[in-house]
Amino acid sequence: MSRGLFVSLYKKGKPFTLIDCRERRDFVNGHWFGSINIPLSRLTENSTKLLPDNGFPIHFLDWQDKPSKESLRKLNFLGYRNILPEKTDYPDKIGDGFVKGEYVWSKAFGEVIGDNSNIPEITPSMFISDYKDAQLFDVRPNDEYQKFTLPGSINLPNSQLLASYGALSKSKKMVLLHCAGRTRSIIGANTLKASGYKGKLAIFRGGTQAWQLAGYQRELQAGKSFSKKTESSYVVEEFLNKWKIPYEKSSSIDIREFQRSNRGNLIFDVSDDNADCQIVDQGLLKVSGTTLIQQTDQSIGCFHMPIVLFDLGSGSRAAFSAYWLKLMGFQVRVIILEEAPIIPRSQKPFSETLDENCPAKILDLCQLYQSEVQFDFRPSQEFEKRHLKGSRWKNLSKILSERPFIKKIGIVAESKISGSEICGTLTRLGWNIFGYYCWNETEINKIDLSQCKLNQPIDRSSLFEGRHNGNLKDAQNYLDWEEKLPESIDPFIHDMWVTYFNRKPKEH
C-alpha cells in the first residue's frame, strides 16, 4: 500500500529512507511525499552521496516495471544489504500524500511556515505605490541572483542573514526580502524574526515571477552584494542557545577520524555559500546553507539520522541551516571551526566498482567512430551543450523498454564507472556493445561537435520549465502550485511542522 507508507515509517522513529528510482521528469510529475529521488541513470553517483552507509535501511518503491527491477539489481551490486521492496502504485489524483513538483519537502515546509507567519507580504502593485523606499534583498545564492533579480535588489543569501544581523539592524529602511517565488523569502524573513530582528520587515510576494506577471522587467546580470560586518561567534552562540541547538567549537578536526567516531551521522560542511552538494570525502558533503534548506531532499536522503554541520568562521551559516532543519524534524548539531578541516586523500567509495561482468572495452575516439551507432548516455543538458555529430542521446531507464540493435553500439559515458555499468546492463539485455568512450578523456575537434535542443528529456523536470524565461502561464501556475502545496502533503507532517514552528524558544 503506497498511501501512508512514509508516515507509518516516520512515526516509528527509526532510521530509514524511502527511495524512488524513476527518472526526474516522471518523479516530478507525481510522487509519494517523503520519497527521495535517486534516478537509475544517476544511481551510483547519487547513492554514494545520499546513502554513504551501505547497511542503512532502504525502503524501495517498486513500481513493478523494468527500471525498478534494474535499480534493485544495481543497488544490490553496489553493496546495499538492507533493502525492503515496497510494491507501489499511482493514485487517481494528486493529494493526500501524492504530490508533484521539485524539492517538495522544502517547498511545502516553507509554505506551511508562510501560512503560520504574520510577516507582511508586499505585492508588486503595493511596492510601486507605497514601498519604493524599502530596500530589496534577494535571498537566493549569488549565481541565481546574477541571472536575474528585481531592479535595485541587493544579494544577501539566506545563509548569510545571521552574519548580517547587526548591519541590518542599523538600517532605517524596511528590509524587503524576495526570491524567484515565495519559499526562500518566507524562510529568510522568519529567520530574522526568530533571531529577534526589530526593524521593519516584509516579504515580496511572488518574487521575480510576480514582478513579470505584473508587466515589469527584471534586472539582468546584477552585481550588488550586501556589505556586511560579519558577526562574531559569540553573537551566533546566542542564537544557538536561544534555539536550543547543541554546538561546540573546535580549533581543528580530522575528517576521517571524525567520521570514524561519529558513524551513523550525516555530515555537511556549509562554509561555502557557493557549494552545491559536492562530495569532498566519502561521508562529507559541501553544500550552501541556502541550498540545503531549499533543496533538502537533494542532500538529505535519510530520516531519523543525526546531522552534523561544520562551519568555518562565526558559525552563522550553520546556525541558519540548523534552525530550519530542526523545525523540519531533523536532529542536528553544529561544530564551529577555527581552521579548515583536515581532509585526507579520499578513499575509493564503496560504490565505485567497475562491473566485472562487463565485456566491453574502453574506446579511444578513433575506435568509437568505428562503431556503427553511437549512443550518448551523459545527462541531457550536457548532451545539448555539445556532443559528437551523429550520436543519439539515450537514457538508461528509457532504453530498457527498447528492442536491442543488431548493429555494434558505441557508448559515450561520463566516466569509466558509468560506462562499465551501462555496457554491463545492455550486454545482459542482448545489445551488441562495441565498447565505451569516456567523455573529455581526449580533445575533440570542434568540427566533430554539435548542439541541439531535446524535447522534454526524461532525466529532468519539464514542469513549469518556462517560468523564468518569459512564459507567464508557467510562472502563474508555479506560484499557484507553491501556495497549494500544504494541501497535498500528509496531514501528520503538516501538523508536526506547525507545532514545531509555533513553539516558544524555551520549548525547543
| Residues 178-189: tens digit of each pLDDT | 999 999 999 999
Q: What is the CATH number of domain 361-450?
A: 3.40.250.10
Amino acid at 289: G
Poorest-pLDDT segment among 1-15, 214-228, 336-350: 336-350
Condensed to tens digits (0 to 9), the pLDDT of residues 338-352 reads 887 777 655 555 455
Q: Give the model's pLDDT for residue 355.
A: 61
Long-range contacts of the stretch 413-418 (C-beta < 8 A, 24+): 413/377, 413/378, 413/437, 413/438, 413/439, 414/377, 414/378, 414/379, 414/382, 414/438, 414/439, 416/354, 416/362, 417/44, 417/352, 417/353, 417/354, 418/44, 418/45, 418/377
Average pLDDT over residues 245-264: 88
Report the SS3 class of residue 363: coil
Report the SS3 class of residue 407: coil
Q: Give the model's pLDDT for residue 256.
A: 83
Q: Give the model's pLDDT for residue 305.
A: 95
Condensed to tens digits (0 to 9), the pLDDT of residues 80-127 reads 999 999 999 999 899 999 999 999 999 999 999 999 999 999 999 999
**Residue 506 pLDDT exceeds 80:** no
Rounded Cα distance between 485 and 497, Å, is 14
Q: What angle do CA 246, 249, 255 make, to 5 degrees?
A: 95
Q: Give the model's pLDDT for residue 444.
A: 86
Grid cell digits, residue 420: 562499465
Q: Give the model's pLDDT for residue 278.
A: 76
Average pLDDT over residues 384-407: 95
Average pLDDT over residues 268-279: 84
**Residue 370 pLDDT exceeds 70:** yes
Q: Give the model's pLDDT for residue 137.
A: 97
Amino acid at 230: T
Q: Give the model's pLDDT for residue 345.
A: 59
Assign 251 a pLDDT band (cuts: 50, 70, 90): confident
Dihedral pair phi/psi, residue 69, rounded to 5°? -65, -45
Assign 263 a pLDDT band (cuts: 50, 70, 90): confident
Assign 230 a pLDDT band (cuts: 50, 70, 90): low
Q: Could you tell me which of 319, 310, 277 has the C-alpha nearest to residue 294?
A: 277
Q: Where are the domains of the chain?
A: 1-101, 111-227, 236-337, 361-450
Assign 25 a pLDDT band (cuts: 50, 70, 90): very high
Q: Give the model's pLDDT for residue 434.
A: 93
Dihedral sign, CA of 271, 274, 275, 276?
A: positive
Assign 248 a pLDDT band (cuts: 50, 70, 90): very high
Q: Does domain 236-337 have CATH number 3.20.20.220?
A: no
Condensed to tens digits (0 to 9), the pLDDT of residues 119-155 reads 999 999 999 999 999 999 999 999 999 999 999 999 9
Instruction: Report percent pLDDT > 90 for the chain.
Output: 75
Q: Give the model's pLDDT for residue 273.
A: 84
Range picked from 46-50, 52-56, 190-194 for highest mean pLDDT: 190-194
Average pLDDT over residues 464-479: 93
Average pLDDT over residues 213-241: 83
Q: Give the model's pLDDT for residue 178.
A: 97
Are 20 and 397 in contact by the 8 Å Cβ rule? The answer is no
Q: Give the model's pLDDT for residue 282.
A: 67
Q: Give the model's pLDDT for residue 264.
A: 86
Q: Give the model's pLDDT for residue 417.
A: 87
* SS3 annotation, 57-74: CEEEEECCCHHHHHHHHH
Q: Give the model's pLDDT for residue 109.
A: 97
Cβ neighbors of 55 (< 8 A, separation 6 or more) are 80, 81, 82
C-alpha dihedral, 93 to 96 to 98 to 99, nearest 10°: 90
**Residue 324 pLDDT exceeds 90:** yes
Q: Give the model's pLDDT for residue 234.
A: 67
Same topology, domains 111-227 and 361-450? Answer is yes
Greater model confidence, 353 or 414: 414
Rounded Cα distance between 332 and 325, Å, is 7
Report the SS3 class of residue 105: helix
Q: Does domain 1-101 have CATH number 3.40.1260.10?
A: no
Q: What homologous superfamily is domain 111-227 in, according to CATH?
A: Rhodanese-like domain (3.40.250.10)
Mean pLDDT of the chain: 91
